[in-house]
Structure 1
Amino acid sequence: MVNNTVQRCDFRMHDMVDGKFRVERVLNSTRTDQKFKVNDTSGNEYILKLLKLWEVEPSLRQKMLLSADNEIKSCQIKSNYLTNIVHTGMVNGNPYLLLEYCKSLDLSHLIRNQRLDIVKTAKEILYGLRDLHKSGKVHGQLTPENILIADGNRVKLTNYVILGGRANLLASKNKTLHSHFIDKALAYQAPELYRLERYATILPSVDIFSFGVILFFMLTGELPYGKLVTESDWIHYQTRVQSDDWNRNILFRNEQREMWMNILEACLSADPHSRAGSVDELLEKLPGNEYPYIAVQGSQVEAPNAILNGIMLHVMQGNDWGKCYRLPEIMPSPKRIITLGRKDDSIFNQIQLSEPVSSYISRRHCTLEWDDETETWYLRDGQWDKEVQGNWARSLNGTYINSKEVTEEGSKIIPGDIISIGNVKLRVEAY
């Protein structure tokens, strides 16, 4: 049914989209989506992002539509530091979303500008990232072009909604690596994304690295690992990234050198485990009394943390978006364990995660164990399996709490933690 109703959309200036929004300017077009500046009938300005569903192979359209729908739902985050989604719809069978528009310049136009307050800008970029991470989202493509500086030097992160599917994000980036065109966005990409064996599990540490490159660029007007113009530059750039060989001498005369170096060292490590574990760790290194965080009333960025009955897992990203699993209520007595895995008729799990678009969740992915003595839940990678050596089968793509990989020995979980299983993100919440 979807295939029969999807039609190509070639919107140009002054065209009407969905009979509601007039195209003022075509901003850009990628392999998966198009972006326009539009006005509604009252003259209000927005950014409209349209998924090119007509470009998708007909047999995959239903899955792509489901993926886009879940992505849009999971990105409806109320934050003063993000360009917020204000409307969604369909036009000619293609989904679109409407983002708030603010008169602004992107950060790339303000580098080395004396009016740019670097401390304020850095803190507000981190506030935006923190709101994303606490909501189970990773930006994944943070660059100066995706950071808007609005009136009053207010920072808003944009382009964090990936309509083409997060699992496809790096696959498309990988094609850029083998082309003759060097995408300048590669300079901000974390080195673990150069390798695609675990590309389905994109962690907050990816954004930490990108922030470090952006901060260095704000401070110096240069990239930390050298110029990036030609294919030869890219080869050398990657080598320096992998060797942690960034230009530490350029900040020698900076009056706040010690503070900035401390932050940069916590970001610019090739090993994601050596980076700051969270945005909060970076914020603690910045002056705490300047530019405080401003919350949006009614925002659900913070996970409920007052435990009355127990804790639950809330699906923040994935096909089961919005679903909640109350652990005490699904724990099979007297075993005190809960198994999680990909929904599959051949294996039984108390928590079965649907994954119709990809296959990055193992059927026996991980195990939750309740400790009566300490009244604590622990998460272990893998599950008991009598058919394998050692009777314990690890997952294929790993289990993560925030940015830390979980071992088979297990790690404690508390409200606010984000569990990453393939492309699925679950937030630990109290209820």
Structure 2
Amino acid sequence: MAASHRAGVIHRDLKPSNIMASAGVNLHNLKITDFGIATLTEEVFDEAARAGDLTRSTSGTVRGASPFMAPEMMFREPGENPGPAIDIWSIGAMMFKLLTGEFPFGVYLEAAVNVRNRTRKPWPVFMTSNAQFAPLARELQTIVDRCLSYDPSGRPSAADLVERCQDLCYLAVDRKVGEIDKFIQNGYSGFIDGESDTVFFSVESVYGATQPDMNANRTVCYSSFPGTPRPRAHPVIVLKS
């Protein structure tokens, strides 16, 4: 996105369906698509603005993008041309969804109303309740909070965002997928049947609101590190079944 903005190109419609990721759980490659949608989006919003009420538009483009759309794009007047900060808002909204599993303002008309009223969902407690994840989680929350500033001038530029993310300290180890084999120590730890071996894990290494179990929440994603007698999984995230 920083390269796009340096070239003077604003996407205007950033959302998960416009981002292609490499197969599997490891995001080695990400590509932004549908840059051409910018013209279509502008036409749709001009039509909606002329109708007098954007939130009642039946356009699939508007409905699909609204959970990630900046307020100055969502409620703009004819002739207004929002700048690159609209893409930064969209990045922040997508980061919020990735980190929490929730849309920051809801979806469809709910999103439009909540953005208008500046009513955003709070950060979930699980992000900072675990001391292992809290430092990085707080840094990410600060970045997202800035991206979701209601004042476009309060958002970082794409170049600033790149620098902030480069300064983060995080694991860059390939992820694997496995299933919980069994729990030990009264459920405090257990073993994961991995892709090539059995891996030990502690519930203290689980990130997210959902804890693994032997039923619907059995499939997990994790990184593996050397350990004795078994490799150690960290962090562990329950995958949707």
Of residues 37, 50, 64, the one that matches 1:184 is: 64
Partner of 1:266: 146
Q: Are the aligned partners of 2:69 and 2:89 in contact in 1 as well (CA < 8 Å)?
A: yes
| 1:157 equivalenced with 2:32 (yes/no) | yes
Q: CA deviation at 1:220?
A: 1.2
AA matched with 2:82: I
Partner of 2:158: 279
Query: Where do 1:247-258 residues align within 5 Å?
Result: 247-250=122-125, 251-253=127-129, 255=133, 256-258=136-138
Query: Where do 1:143-154 residues align within 5 Å?
Result: 143-151=15-23, 153-154=28-29
SS of equivalent residue, structure 1 residue 203: coil
- Partners of 2:103 and 2:140 lie apart in 1 by 15
Q: CA deviation at 1:235?
A: 5.3
Q: Are the aligned partners of 1:138 and 1:202 in contact in 2 as well (CA < 8 Å)?
A: no
- Partners of 2:115 and 2:168 lie apart in 1 by 37
Q: CA deviation at 1:265?
A: 1.6
Larger Rg: 1
Q: Are the aligned partners of 2:14 and 2:90 in contact in 1 as well (CA < 8 Å)?
A: yes
Q: TM-score scaled by structure 1?
A: 0.32
Q: CA deviation at 1:169?
A: 4.8
Q: CA deviation at 1:168?
A: 2.1
| 1:141 equivalenced with 2:18 (yes/no) | no
Q: Are the aligned partners of 2:100 and 2:123 in contact in 1 as well (CA < 8 Å)?
A: no
Q: Are the aligned partners of 2:96 and 2:103 in contact in 1 as well (CA < 8 Å)?
A: yes
Q: Are the aligned partners of 2:66 and 2:74 in contact in 1 as well (CA < 8 Å)?
A: no
1:164/1:260 Cα in 2 relative to 1: closer, same or farther (>3 Å)?
closer
Q: CA deviation at 1:142?
A: 0.2
SS of equivalent residue, structure 1 residue 131: helix
Measured against aligned partners, the alpha-carbon deviations of 1:183-236 in whole angstroms (never above 9, x if no partner) come to: 1310111001233336542311000000000001111111112x325x4x2454
SS of equivalent residue, structure 2 residue 35: coil
SS of equivalent residue, structure 1 residue 252: helix
Of residues 95, 114, 117, the one that matches 1:237 is: 114
- Partners of 1:235 and 1:138 lie apart in 2 by 21
SS of equivalent residue, structure 2 residue 129: coil
Mark the runs of 5 or more structure 1 residues left unpaired by the alignment. Answer: 1-128, 292-431
Q: CA deviation at 1:280?
A: 1.7
Q: Are the aligned partners of 2:66 and 2:112 in contact in 1 as well (CA < 8 Å)?
A: no
SS of equivalent residue, structure 2 residue 123: coil
1:164/1:180 Cα in 2 relative to 1: closer, same or farther (>3 Å)?
closer
Q: Are the aligned partners of 1:217 and 1:223 in contact in 2 as well (CA < 8 Å)?
A: yes
Q: CA deviation at 1:167?
A: 4.5
1:173/1:208 Cα in 2 relative to 1: closer, same or farther (>3 Å)?
farther
1:195/1:203 Cα in 2 relative to 1: closer, same or farther (>3 Å)?
same
Partner of 1:170: 45
| Greater strand proportion | 1
Of residues 83, 87, 102, the one that matches 1:222 is: 102
Q: Are the aligned partners of 2:55 and 2:112 in contact in 1 as well (CA < 8 Å)?
A: no
SS of equivalent residue, structure 2 residue 72: helix
- Partners of 1:270 and 1:286 lie apart in 2 by 21
SS of equivalent residue, structure 1 residue 148: strand
* C-alpha RMSD over aligned residues: 3.0
- Partners of 2:95 and 2:154 lie apart in 1 by 18
- Partners of 2:57 and 2:69 lie apart in 1 by 17
Partner of 2:203: none
SS of equivalent residue, structure 2 residue 30: strand
Partner of 2:92: 212
AA matched with 2:164: K
| Greater helix proportion | 2
AA matched with 2:128: F
- Partners of 1:252 and 1:288 lie apart in 2 by 19
Measured against aligned partners, the alpha-carbon deviations of 1:379-400 in whole angstroms (never above 9, x if no partner) come to: xxxxxxxxxxxxxxxxxxxxxx
AA matched with 1:213: A
